[in-house]
Amino acid sequence: MNNAQLNELKTRYVASGAASPATQFAERAENALIWDADGNRIIDFAGGIGVLNVGHRHPKVVQAVKDQLDKVMHTCQTVMPYEGYVKVAEKLSQLTPVRGHGKVMLANSGAEALENAVKVARAATGRDNVICFTGGYHGRTFMTMAMNGKVAPYATDFGSMPGNVFRAPYPVPYHGVSEEDALNGLKMTLKTDANPRDTAAIVLEPVLGEGGFYAASTSFLEAVREICDEHGILLIVDEVQSGFGRTGKLFAIEHSGVEPDIITMAKSMADGMPISAVVGTDKVMDASGGNSLGGTYTGSPVSCAATLAVLEVFEEEKILEKSQALGDKLGERFAKWQQDFACVDNVRHLGAMAAFDVVADKAKHTPDAELTGALCKKAREKGLILLSCGLYGNTVRFLMPVTIEDEILEEGLDIVEACLKELVSH
């Protein structure tokens, strides 16, 4: 079927809240390229929203999945366990920088991982409150919608959210929230809303994902860790988007040296196969009773095989080094754009987790969401998938595969530059 026929089916049968606004349908893909149902070639700077750090259909991952399909597809690991689950748990325990010996549970999605992290924290502490941050994004289930630091479009139409979730400001100096402001805000939340003795966890992204690719400083993360220790609160770090090599480390929190009690991860764990994980200190993870964590499909044999293959690819192909090198290339190009274009400002990257803001006034840091949308739309018209994000809708984020070929990278960046030239004055 072609794009037009598929769009007709989408309009007729797919719920509008779930339907993509895109009018092209993926037919096949390889590394950083997608071909649609009409045969058009498209460069992918979105990576399935950070899922494809080792590229579409990495051969080693594809082979691992095929091999697993010849063995076991599903048993439900709580009914009949299998090697893949415990091998993934072993690897993640060894690689994840939580305090002490790590233990692992596997789930299907980032939102599930965050839900279970909160369950574990409540079981381990006997407390209810959870503190999150403005701009944070944690998922689309009810608990994670309550935790998100942004209402639209995630929670706009869905009524009351679960209680015992409180908010503190995330430090974004560019938008007038200093590190001191953020820490004072967190302390005020603990003083006025979330009694520390009733607070189970503080949940934060070391780099805001949907919130705009703003990285928290090491000193801020250290201060939050100290506050948690002072009050017996668990620190949960959400690495769903920033994890698995995006920032030049396996996990973004490693840049700071801070050790959380729990880390959640998903997205690029398995190169597109659905899996997520909660990794935490053993005593914390063992706090809840038998059969209290899990689900029918959690840690499926096929997804576990893909995860183990991804970890081999990371080592064999030096993905972390490639991520750092990619980030440096993006940083250089962004700096040129910031100099050349009146609308490009606040360029930034941590490894290959890279972004810039589109503004109407650089001096005032005035967000321009309309121009941001126009830029992404024009890029799509020219054969490039480009995503926006941010609390103000004016951040352009770059999530191309870390394995992208140099010539494809340059072709895509040239498209962005051409779009900027067409849309704005120098």
CA gap 340, 335 in Å, rounded: 9
| End-of-domain residue from the set 299, 316, 333 | 316
pLDDT of residue 24: 97
Same domain, 380 and 282: no
Same domain, 85 and 184: yes
Same domain, 346 and 261: no
Same domain, 132 and 48: no
Domain of 242 in residue numbering reads as 62-316
Same domain, 225 and 132: yes
- In tens digits, the chain (426 residues) has pLDDT values of 999 999 999 999 999 999 999 999 999 999 999 999 999 999 999 999 999 999 999 999 999 999 999 999 999 999 999 999 999 999 999 999 999 999 999 999 999 999 999 999 999 999 999 999 999 999 999 999 999 987 778 878 888 889 999 999 999 999 999 999 999 999 999 999 999 999 999 999 999 999 999 999 999 999 999 999 999 999 999 999 999 999 999 999 999 999 999 999 999 999 999 999 999 999 999 999 999 999 999 999 999 999 999 999 999 999 999 999 999 999 999 999 999 999 999 999 999 999 999 999 999 999 999 999 999 999 999 999 999 999 999 999 999 999 999 999 999 999 999 999 999 864
| End-of-domain residue from the set 278, 299, 316 | 316
Same domain, 40 and 162: no
CA gap 397, 400 in Å, rounded: 9
Q: Which of 255, 175, 259, 261 is nearest to 212 (CA)?
A: 175
pLDDT of residue 158: 86
Same domain, 107 and 197: yes
Q: Report residue 25 as tokens.
A: 């349908």
For residues 141-170, one letter each, b for 16 or more C-beta atoms within 10 angstroms of the residue's C-beta and e for the rest, the string is ebbbbbbbbbeeebbeeeeeeeebbbbbbb
Same domain, 305 and 322: no
Same domain, 128 and 217: yes
Tell me the sheet residues that pair with 165: 130
CA gap 42, 56 in Å, rounded: 13
Kindly list the distances between the CA atom of residue 374 and the CA atoms of 377, 419, 420, in Å, as whole numbers in the listed order: 5, 9, 10
pLDDT of residue 413: 98
146: CATH? 3.40.640.10
Same domain, 242 and 153: yes
7: CATH? 3.90.1150.10
Between strands 199-204 and 33-36, the pairing is: unpaired
Same domain, 122 and 267: yes
The total of structural domains in the chain comes to 2
pLDDT of residue 425: 61
Same domain, 322 and 312: no
| End-of-domain residue from the set 316, 342, 369 | 316
